[in-house]
Structure 1
Amino acid sequence: MPKIAVSPFDRARYLGTVTAVTPLDVRLNLPFGTEIASARYAGHVIDRGQVGEFVVIEGQTSAVLGRMVEIRLPDRDRLSVEPERENRADVANPIGVVRLLGSVDLVSGHSSRGIPSAPRVGEYVYLAHPDFLRHAIDSAADKKGATVRIGHLTGSQDSEIAMSATTVFGRHCAILGSTGGGKSWTTAHLVEEVARLDGKVLLIDPTGEYHTLEQATHVHLGGRRDGEDDARCFVSFPHRHLNEMDLFALLQPSQGVQAPKLREALISLKLIAILPDLADEDGHLIKNGREKKPINRAIREHDALLRKAGANYDIKKLSLQIHHECVFPNGTNVMRWGSAHDNSVSSCISLCIRVDGAVNSEHLKPVFSPEDYMADVTEVIDNFLVGTEKILRVSMRYMPFEQSARELVVNALGRHLLAKARDGNFKDSPLVVVLDEAHQFLNKSVGDEVNRVHLDAFGLIAKEGRKYGLTTVMATQRPRDIPEDVLSQVGLLIVHRLINERDQGVVVSASGAIDASMATFLPTLREGEALIIGSGAVMPLPVQVIPPKRRPDLSDGGGGNWMRPGAPAED
């Protein structure tokens, strides 16, 4: 451990003396707290008492680190600072409140979140020297292996903040912040850092704003070419990757007759995709009056293939296949199906209409009837994982919200990645999945009351993906919509400006490293400034994040100018 390069207890940086101590904070006199002009010493500004400053409390064996969270005057002194008072002999006696954050051992130089002994009344408090802060940060950070450059300590350009890649990505990361706080900026920078460190990152981009990323493979889920010269890569998400629950959420069959008939129709279509000889000339499995034994035997023999994720079938034949399923269970004998069951046919008419509407929907073409030039996005991802590219961005800009298709597709993509992780595909080559606007795809259910699907794929990745080499970076402006059990798995929080009190409360609960007094700093953070909270930081660190090479931009993602063309801008 390197020795401390600068004394933490420099008399020129003296702020005041401790007057009261609690387990969480101390109070101190601030004799210079009413000075307006800042002093300078050894090239550094010394404000001698401002909210937000980092301070050091003198101890026998350790230096206790803290942050000023409140400065006030006792009621008896509050008029002493009024410039119009005739009697200017009154002396102001400001009081400061410092939230305790951690400590630095004066012998070993090692820093930690723990405080070996509480400060004592009468001990001196000093403004923390930038070099001492940098020592405290570096001695606590794990710098083994590759490091991720985060930014610099706010107000100190020389205090670079860097953490090991394992600290940032090894136990998931959450980027939180209100609109305009710099969340997208940080997300883009971390994506660039993964690529710089020769890692692989899959970015799911719901808005299309990350089209500015350089050295990335960009694909669009849905949409269509503007012409033969359109060089953009459009991909599909074929219906076979949706499981039964996904389809039920899309098609919403009723619980009585429709759900069983839809389930049987799906099995029949998958069966004839394996054994085409069982189908009629139009590609349907006719059951009216047919012998049961050959069909039931084939279902038993191919049960594993029928239940396998991604089993192929022709969705365009589903509506009529449902009709063919509406037969009596027994005909003239139990060995054959009976004739058409008119009540079942009538009950399934509305379902068949919904099926035809979904299959022929222009918005759902990337799922049910993709263009020939559209590659399967799961195959694109699989090829990316074994290729040399470092960044794959999947834009969801053209994927519709209709019938919750966007949420179901992203959830199914997460399921696909988790399945590959469980098969050991990321053991030797970890993958970081960046999910922007994560609140859209977590802690939500889609579908009606009968056919409800809980979007849990990325929650499961957060809970178990780490042991398989699959980790995630979740970016959201609504932390309150992220499940508590998911946030509890996050090892590093990068918190930009948060205005909503509920969102601030979520950060306080999830981090365990800040309280309500520290959360009050969140609404005042500037653009690009964030509070770093996690196991790799000795204390919550206000950091100005390094900007990405090219900032995210919504102009190509549907944002544009809401004013009519040529309209004059108002002052």
Structure 2
Amino acid sequence: MGTGFLAAHLTSSDFQVRGEVLPLQESRSVEEITTEIAGAANCTIAGFVVEGSTISTVRFELCGDAVVHEGFAVFALLDGKRVYYQVVGAETGEESFDSNPLGKQIAIASQLGSFVDQSSFEKFPWIPPMNTPLFRQDIDFKSADGDVDEHYGFLVGKVPSTDIPVYGLIESMVDHHTAILGATGTGKTELALDVIRQALSEDTKVFCVDFTGEYKHRLKDCRPIFLGPSKEQADELDAKLFDVETGSYGAGTEKRALREEMDKLRGETKNKVAEFLESEENYFTIFELAEITNSAATLSLTELYLSAIMDWARKHRQARKILIVLEEAHTIVPESTGSGFDFGTQWIVSKIGQIALQGRKYGVGLLIITQRTALVSKTILSQCNTFLTHSLIDQTSLGFLTNVYSPDHCRLIPNLGKFEFIAYGKGILADNPIVLKRDFDPKIKAASDALRKELKKPAADEAATPEE
């Protein structure tokens, strides 16, 4: 019992007598038959559409020897178009024929759409009929369909099990906000570096807030300049904040001194930011701070520079495309409710949030990068229009992402492998969420390992004795 194809070419004249058994005059291989019905070579039948399918998600029963896994792509021929679906889940079932039960595997696949102009997935508007065959194609996509013109965007990743490329639009990522999420070691930093390089290639001013110290090494070929207060200024602000916290009741005198110091820093900051944004030579700056243990000081100084960028952008509407990169975003735009922050710190976080919310109107986009999604302000995350999500396991993060992805895609997130992620939004040339994979590059791995080793040296040197 099963579903099959009528593979022979028959005419009505072939049948003369009811019930007659006819020998086939032609002999064709499975490969030849599959090539004909799939419309392409090197295809294998993955399965057939079964009940319970919808426009956005199909269910198909696997053929006995079909091999698919999470993230694999399959396609169906619908209205003359090759419509792609991506496996996001699976389940087993059983059909009973009296005393002879039959086990089956049902794959669940989310629609990617038809691949248009070798650049983007366009949603297909209808459901495939029952028993429609789904195929896998084990070939190099680009060699079969031609080279892809780079003007479509920059390569974000490829669909697993295929060489189908998926592209991103940096203009949409800058005009709106983008979030790169994922646990440590999943590959989000490498993706962020690619986004930054692409933004710079499009003459976008990039202001990167990085307290890890990694970006200045990894992006040194982009010739960054460095903005931020001097160590003396940072120490002075740190001290004045401490005075406010430990002063007498009300700390009136200490608060006045702090306000005067902030006003002085604000004026200097505006001049530095304006010089950078109006420069025709410098397009990339990294915001650095001397080592400060006071998180309130860190947030205060960050707010100074982000406010200066917003003030400039407001006065010079759309004169420059500006991308603000927030690495370790949970330390810069934290979820302040219930975090033990005092009123002043909550006000600063709220101010940074307002900058994020208003930035789009003035050509200022945000790139948020974090491994602790649960601790980032949800007000700001909810303003992101593009999400690139690597593996996460905490339920708070997954709960938030149910507002972004389908339940099937959310169930995939904890199981994503290294360099795998789900991409969705205005910055991705695909109408639906899509699982992508980036190729492992041993050169990047070697450079990253060397940098981490180098960054550990100062601490080791300080701990060493003079004899050592």
- TM-score of the aligned structures, taking structure 2 as reference length: 0.71
Asked whether the 8 Å contact 1:188–1:551 carries over to 2, the reply is no
- Asked whether 1:182 is paired with 2:187, we answer yes
Asked whether the 8 Å contact 1:18–1:120 carries over to 2, the reply is yes
**By how many angstroms is 1:478 displaced?**
1.4
Q: Which position in structure 1 is the counterpart of 2:412?
A: 521
- Asked whether 1:474 is paired with 2:368, we answer yes
Instruction: Please give the per-residue CA displacement for 1:399-423, whole angstroms capped at 9, x wherever unaligned.
Output: 3132521122212322222222212
Bigger helix fraction = 2
**By how many angstroms is 1:503 displaced?**
1.9
Asked whether the 8 Å contact 1:411–1:456 carries over to 2, the reply is no
Q: Which position in structure 2 is the counterpart of 1:31?
A: 63
- CA spacing shift, 1:546–1:185, aligned 2, 3 Å: same
In the TM superposition, 1:399-414 aligns within 5 A as 399-402=291-294, 404-414=296-306
- CA spacing shift, 1:105–1:420, aligned 2, 3 Å: closer
Structure 2 counterpart of 1:431, from 319, 322, 327: 322
- Asked whether 1:147 is paired with 2:179, we answer no
**By how many angstroms is 1:262 displaced?**
5.4
Q: Which position in structure 1 is the counterpart of 2:287?
A: 394
Equivalent residue of 1:13, what SS?
strand
**By how many angstroms is 1:534 displaced?**
1.4
In the TM superposition, 1:435-446 aligns within 5 A as 435-445=326-336
In the TM superposition, 1:128-143 aligns within 5 A as none
| Larger RCO (CA under 8 A, 6+ residues apart) | 1
Asked whether the 8 Å contact 1:145–1:165 carries over to 2, the reply is no
Instruction: Please give the per-residue CA displacement for 1:387-441, whole angstroms capped at 9, x wherever unaligned.
Output: 2022211234x331325211222123222222222122x6222111111000111
Amino acid at match of 1:205: D
Amino acid at match of 1:96: I
Instruction: Please give the per-residue CA displacement for 1:345-368, whole angstroms capped at 9, x wherever unaligned.
Output: xxxxxxxxxxxxxxxxxxxxxx89
- Asked whether 1:421 is paired with 2:335, we answer no
Structure 2 counterpart of 1:21, from 52, 56, 61: 52
Asked whether the 8 Å contact 1:52–1:69 carries over to 2, the reply is yes
- CA spacing shift, 1:450–1:252, aligned 2, 3 Å: farther
Q: Which position in structure 2 is the counterpart of 1:456?
A: 350
Amino acid at match of 2:84: L
Q: Which position in structure 2 is the counterpart of 1:217?
A: 224
**By how many angstroms is 1:448 displaced?**
5.9
Instruction: Please give the per-residue CA displacement for 1:126-162, whole angstroms capped at 9, x wherever unaligned.
Output: 22576779999x99xxx99683332444344x53333
Amino acid at match of 2:371: Q
Asked whether the 8 Å contact 1:152–1:544 carries over to 2, the reply is yes
Q: Which position in structure 2 is the counterpart of 1:207?
A: 212
**By how many angstroms is 1:538 displaced?**
3.0
Amino acid at match of 2:323: V
Instruction: Please give the per-residue CA displacement for 1:312-342, whole angstroms capped at 9, x wherever unaligned.
Output: 4xxxxxxxxxxxxxxxxxxxxxxxxxxxxxx
Q: Which position in structure 1 is the counterpart of 2:128?
A: 119
Equivalent residue of 1:189, what SS?
helix
Amino acid at match of 1:18: V
Q: Which position in structure 2 is the counterpart of 1:84?
A: none
Amino acid at match of 2:47: G
- Asked whether 1:67 is paired with 2:67, we answer no
Amino acid at match of 1:468: Y
**By how many angstroms is 1:376 displaced?**
5.4
- TM-score of the aligned structures, taking structure 1 as reference length: 0.60
Asked whether the 8 Å contact 1:432–1:472 carries over to 2, the reply is yes
Structure 1 counterpart of 2:250, from 250, 253, 258: 258
Cα-Cα RMSD:
4.5
Amino acid at match of 2:377: P
Give 5+ residue unaligned stretches, structure 1.
1-5, 36-46, 78-89, 225-234, 271-309, 313-366, 369-374, 567-571
- CA spacing shift, 1:124–1:560, aligned 2, 3 Å: farther
- CA spacing shift, 1:450–1:15, aligned 2, 3 Å: closer
Amino acid at match of 2:402: V
Equivalent residue of 1:412, what SS?
helix
Asked whether the 8 Å contact 2:89–2:109 carries over to 1, the reply is no
Q: Which position in structure 2 is the counterpart of 1:103?
A: 113
Structure 2 counterpart of 1:381, from 273, 283, 287: 273
Amino acid at match of 1:415: S
- CA spacing shift, 1:401–1:131, aligned 2, 3 Å: same
**By how many angstroms is 1:476 displaced?**
0.4
Instruction: Please give the per-residue CA displacement for 1:446-465, whole angstroms capped at 9, x wherever unaligned.
Output: 88655453303442233221
Structure 2 counterpart of 1:506, from 400, 415, 429: 400
- CA spacing shift, 1:562–1:260, aligned 2, 3 Å: closer
Q: Tell me the distance in 2 between the aligned counterparts of 1:65 and 1:221.
A: 49
How many residue pairs get aligned? The number is 410
Equivalent residue of 1:49, what SS?
coil
Q: Which position in structure 2 is the counterpart of 1:55?
A: 74
Equivalent residue of 2:171, what SS?
helix
Equivalent residue of 1:526, what SS?
coil
Amino acid at match of 2:89: E
User: How many percent of aligned residue pairs carry the same amino acid?
Assistant: 18
Asked whether the 8 Å contact 2:335–2:378 carries over to 1, the reply is no
**By how many angstroms is 1:474 displaced?**
0.7
**By how many angstroms is 1:249 displaced?**
9.1
Equivalent residue of 1:382, what SS?
helix
Q: Tell me the distance in 2 between the aligned counterparts of 1:447 and 1:408.
A: 17
